[in-house]
Amino acid sequence: MRNLYLHAIILATILLLYAAKSALAQSSYVLPYPPPMPGSIFYKIRLISEQIQKYWYFGNFGQFSYNLKQSDKYLVQAKTLFEYKQHLLGEEALKKSDMYFKYTSKYLSYAKEENKNIDRQQKTLKEAALKHIEILNKIKIHAPKEIIWNPEKSQPTKILLSGTLAEAIRIRESCL
């Protein structure tokens, strides 16, 4: 009987450790710190550096890294802006993140055409997609489904945030 308890404890510990490990594996991809936000002087510098880096990261693997890096940054920016109820700016950042994320797959397929082994990059992309979806789902909980935007000199516009978030998730899911 005593042995049975012992075995049960060992088994439970192993299962617990395994579960903890797999939970960690799911979110092992690390996103960057929030970048400079719109309105700050550093944001303008960031935009210039973003354009310069586009040329520095030449090559298909280079472009893959560049686009994924930018996609990560804009996602973190969107998350931060949504947290501060800056929904319009948040939506804009999210769309940019989506755009960069779509390019990652494009450059990976170019690399494949050049007979480069893309297994490693594909794995990274999947991990990134999982992490992005995790963040997007968190945003989804707190962000309103839609917002009414009142520009100064024109008609108010209804923005469907839920639609943008669903589209962002769909883009990431297509990589899994």
The footprint of another protein (CB under 8 A) covers 56-62, 65, 114, 116-117, 119-121
| Nearest alpha-carbon partner for 82 in 33, 120, 139 | 139
Shorter beta-carbon distance to another protein: residue 101 or 107: 107
Question: Which of residues 117 and 155 has its CB atom nearest to another protein in the complex?
Answer: 117
Closest approach of Cβ 7 to another protein, in Å? 40
* Distance between CA atoms of residues 72 and 152, nearest Å: 32
The nearest distance, CB 59 to another protein, in angstroms, is: 3
C-alpha distance from residue 1 to each of 11, 66, 112, 121 (Å): 15, 59, 58, 51
Could you tell me the smallest distance in angstroms from the CB atom of residue 62 to another protein?
5
Minimum distance, C-beta of residue 82 to another protein, in the bound complex (Å): 31
Give whichever of 80 and 124 is closer to another protein, judged by the CB atom: 124
Closer residue to another protein (CB): 125 or 147: 125
Residue 4 CB coordination number (10 Å): 8
Q: Least CB distance from residue 98 to another protein, whole Å?
A: 23
Q: In the Cβ-directed half-sphere of 72, how many Cα atoms lie within 13 Å?
A: 17
3-state class (DSSP) for residue 148 = strand
Residue placing its CB nearer to another protein in the complex, 104 or 164 = 104
DSSP state of 85: T
Question: For residues 90 and 38, is the Cβ–Cβ distance under 8 A?
Answer: no
